Chain A
Amino acid sequence: MSVRYRVRWTKEGRTRFVSARDQSSIWERALRRADLPIAYSEGFTPHARVSFPDALPVGVASTGEYAELTFAAPIRADDALARLSTALPEGMDILTYAEVPAGAPKLASLLRATLWELVWPPVDATALTTLLEQRCDTLLAATSHEVVRHRPDGDRTLDVRPAVVSLAVATGPTPDGSGARTTLRAVLRNDAPTIRPSDLLAAVGDGDVAPPALVRRVAQGVPSDDGLTEAIDGTVMTVRSDVVAEAA
């Protein structure tokens, strides 16, 4: 009797450089090390039934990764998924999980928007925050804002504005407390065409803001007025208050 679980997991630290292609075998081996009864696909080269709804660009950190796991036999989820979390490389941790009832909507359909976080190193923090706030206000006030995405196979013009649900900029302390840094948080719709943080940066950076030191996918879920409702456990995440909370 197979059972399905959905998990939210992290891809932090060194593991943010792991590609989507390598991610599957990392999970497959961790599942085997944790000795969990994961189901396998049929065929000559069976693969563990772990699916990931979307790929994260290499180098981007995340506390908002998701996966759906199909087990061939019932498991004691709290214990089993804790073991799996331990078996995964450092930086990959399972945060929350939920069993999937029969007839549940597809995981991808629950991940309708993403809360992104872009962090700049502790330089010019006040000036940068002021500049980005102005640009964000302008973007929110506009009905459309086109940017050009450069690709090896040719440039593509995209309208960023329809994807933007909410934006917030704040100055906050660095983790070690030695200085201030700028954080831009954005809730972007995942509906096609998908707007990536790099597209958003093209819109608000306008060529005079350096790439952020770190980009993080914080969580995914259903968009609300100024944030989103997380897909697995329903936590309400507000784009602005979180930034202010961090700054405080």
Chain B
Amino acid sequence: MLGARTAARTDSLLPDRGDRSAFRAGIGAPVPPSVLPALEPLLDTVRKPAQYVGGEHNMVVRDWAGADVRWLLCYPDTYEVGQPNQGIQILYEILNGRATTLAERAYAPWLDLEERMRADGIPTFSLEQHLPLWAFDVFAVTLPHELGHTNLLNLLDLGGVPHRAADRDATDPMVLVGGHAAFNPEPLAPFIDAAVMGDGEEVVLEIDDVLRTAKRDGLDRPALLRALADVEGVYVPSLYAPRYTDDGRLSRTVPVAPGVPALVPKRTVQDLEAWPYPQQQIVPMTETVHERFSVEIFRGCTRGCRFCQAGMITRPVRERRPETVQRLVEEGVADTGFEEVGLLSLSSADHSAIAPIARSLADTYEGTVTSLSLPSTRVDAFNVTLSNELTRNGRRSGLTFAPEAGSERMRAVINKMVSEEDLLRTAEVAFSQGWRHIKLYFMVGLPTETDEDVVAIADLGIAVYRIARAHGKANKVTLSVGGFVPKPHTPFQWAAQDTPEEIRRKLALIRQHIRTHDGIRLRTNDPEEGVIEGLLARGDRRVADAVERAWRLGARFDGWHEVPTLDLWRRALDETGVSLAWYAQRERDEDEALPWDHLDSGLEKGWLWEDWQEARTAVQLDDCRWSPCYDCGVCPGLDLVHDTGYQPGALLPVVPSVPADLGGAADAALPTSAERYAASATTTSAPGAPR
């Protein structure tokens, strides 16, 4: 065959570990070989090749030799899923803002490219300059959930880096994890060098300083790990050891190096105003799951939903000021050209000034093609009014609400404070104001759940559907039902998870009850998908062997339908003697040590237990933004305060039980209660005192 490429000499892309040190030197280090020449020919043969080329607007390309510390930031899933992640974008901008720090990005190659990369000896690479993972000082991986664990191992291995921390030495990158799943990193303990808990803005700079100093002083790996453990919020698993009781339960996890903290606290940025990032957001050249300019309008949530890990571990609530939100949006839309703006948080309608924020942005973009979106699933008429405001330009298609459970009792158990009356009235308002489709989120498999509670989901759906039909034959209702997975640092961390068989039975029960109502759509996930998530969420260090074995057997992309890995996992569990039932489907006692007891999210374990007991008796707990403190432990323990416009004793912007305001015209003025913000903003607050 004439004209064929000579077999690419790719040995240099994966040099022996002993030959890598030069590239890791400080300023002036030689640039490691780019994988691009070897990669390009493969791109003609794989799906969605644009995800591997980088080159996006706002990508930052820095000189390798001009940097002292070099980070590779990674989201361990495809570019399509990982690129919009705000955490990576924030750290990318903050780290690249330093004169001698370089940060590039990496994502997981899809199976087709991975196969070709392995065949041709091409390592895990960065998008900016297509540089190999092994040359970086830090491989920093965000774990928003547990289903990226096998991908993390795979990326290390593909990148020419030993996947076990004990096999790595000074020639290898430090492997750090962050994100919500880092609040129980024990199933990854043998593979990572450190887990970083909580907000990353400040701690990455402190880690960057430690790495710079370590490089200057020539610290060996053990000394560097010890230095990292001194950074607040950094947990180095190799400096701790789990102790087990005779019956195999954990008794506690203890430090095994002198001077390391027995309890590692999470990091919290008190003043979000000091960190207005990301500003220069990456504009992807190929399709991703969220293509929009996103502004985080507040961080943290104190609604107190007992199933919600995000709400528990990100306390307290810290709001961005309305004028900052407005500025970030205006500058960001002009800079990126995005057509959509997302106002992000865990429950965006709860910002104390959301009404003026929404009104001001709607005014700014009235008559343009820029659209505004606000992920909020709050069940009340205010949410409808707010959505009306944000869709001034466009079509009123679908609204989403999250009652989460079907019966009043079940909602009291999970502390979702919404009544059936609220929901039906909200549906009435929404359909009467021209919305065509309501989507309702629910979970099954919640603690204390009976079949009656499950059937109540169907009944609620039918009741909402009746309202929908009364306003238009084409109106639709979708019930989206997922299986509950108990998570660490929540009141439900002691609860048993339902088996997939039980979840499947409950879903069938709902399906059977709605079968005579053709207009109700039921969307469910495969019940098996929660199995691995449940195992890893509450697993201890002994689960790590199963993670490694499952990866060896070929498990990766555990969250993807296209890649069924459960059978591989079952084999791995068998071979390593890890019991799924024991980790996932077993209720824990009060005195059992949990694998994350030495990791401090700020929540008192005693308070969580108390809340768990109250849950079982269906006792509800109010939101401490506008009701008295109930001592969850976060604020005093971490010396923090809420930073919101809510006054003590204030009410929500709109209380769901004010029917007089509800049936009004679509353009009814937004409630002005949040104008309280202006008043409170002028009140100077003393540190430690709630504002």
Query: Do A and B come together as binding partners?
Result: yes
Residues of chain A having any CB pair with chain B under 8 Å: 13-15, 17-19, 21-22, 25-26, 28-33, 35, 40, 44-46, 58-59, 87, 89-91, 120-121, 123-124, 127-128, 131, 182, 208-210, 212-213
Residue interface bits B300-341, CB-to-A below 8 A is 1, else 0: 000000000000000000000000000000000111111100
With a cutoff of 8 Å between Cβ atoms, the chain A residues found around residue B339 in the complex are 28-29, 32
Residues of chain B having any CB pair with chain A under 8 Å: 1-6, 41, 43-44, 48-50, 52-57, 283, 285-287, 291, 333-339, 369, 394-395
A213→B41 contact, CB < 8 A = yes
A46 to B41, CA, bound (A): 37
A124→B2 contact, CB < 8 A = yes
A19→B6 contact, CB < 8 A = no
Assuming the contacts A44-B394, A89-B57, asked whether A208 and B286 have C-beta atoms less than 8 A apart, the reply is no
A180 to B372, CA, bound (A): 55
B2→A128 contact, CB < 8 A = yes
How close is B289's CB to chain A, nearest CB, in angstroms? 14
A123→B337 contact, CB < 8 A = no
How close is A113's CB to chain B, nearest CB, in angstroms? 25
A40 to B339, CA, bound (A): 12
A44 to B6, CA, bound (A): 53
A29→B286 contact, CB < 8 A = no
13 A-B interface contacts by CB (under 8 A)? A13-B55, A14-B53, A14-B54, A17-B43, A19-B48, A28-B337, A30-B337, A32-B334, A32-B337, A32-B339, A44-B394, A208-B2, A210-B2
How close is B94's CB to chain A, nearest CB, in angstroms? 23
When C-beta atoms are compared, the residue in chain A nearest to B52 turns out to be: A17
A131 to B336, CA, bound (A): 50
Between B1, B337, B394, the greatest number of chain A beta carbons within 10 A of the residue's beta carbon is seen for: B337
B334→A33 contact, CB < 8 A = yes
A17→B2 contact, CB < 8 A = no
With a cutoff of 8 Å between Cβ atoms, the chain A residues found around residue B5 in the complex are 121, 123, 210, 213
How close is B162's CB to chain A, nearest CB, in angstroms? 31
How close is A243's CB to chain B, nearest CB, in angstroms? 16
With a cutoff of 8 Å between Cβ atoms, the chain A residues found around residue B48 in the complex are 19
A33→B335 contact, CB < 8 A = yes
With a cutoff of 8 Å between Cβ atoms, the chain B residues found around residue A15 in the complex are 53, 55, 285
How close is A90's CB to chain B, nearest CB, in angstroms? 6
A131 to B2, CA, bound (A): 9
With a cutoff of 8 Å between Cβ atoms, the chain B residues found around residue A87 in the complex are 57, 337
Assuming the contacts A28-B337, A28-B339, A44-B394, asked whether A33 and B57 have C-beta atoms less than 8 A apart, the reply is yes
With a cutoff of 8 Å between Cβ atoms, the chain B residues found around residue A123 in the complex are 3-6
A176 to B478, CA, bound (A): 60
With a cutoff of 8 Å between Cβ atoms, the chain B residues found around residue A17 in the complex are 43, 49-50, 52-53
B55→A14 contact, CB < 8 A = yes
Select A29's contact among B3, B54, B57, beta carbons within 8 Å. Answer: B57
When C-beta atoms are compared, the residue in chain A nearest to B6 turns out to be: A123
Select B3's contact among A46, A58, A124, beta carbons within 8 Å. Answer: A124
Select B49's contact among A31, A46, A59, beta carbons within 8 Å. Answer: A59
**What 4 pairs across the A-B complex have the smallest Cβ distances?**
A29-B337, A32-B337, A210-B4, A120-B3
With a cutoff of 8 Å between Cβ atoms, the chain B residues found around residue A209 in the complex are 1-3
Assuming the contacts A22-B285, A25-B291, A89-B57, asked whether A210 and B43 have C-beta atoms less than 8 A apart, the reply is no
When C-beta atoms are compared, the residue in chain B nearest to A91 turns out to be: B55
B55→A210 contact, CB < 8 A = no
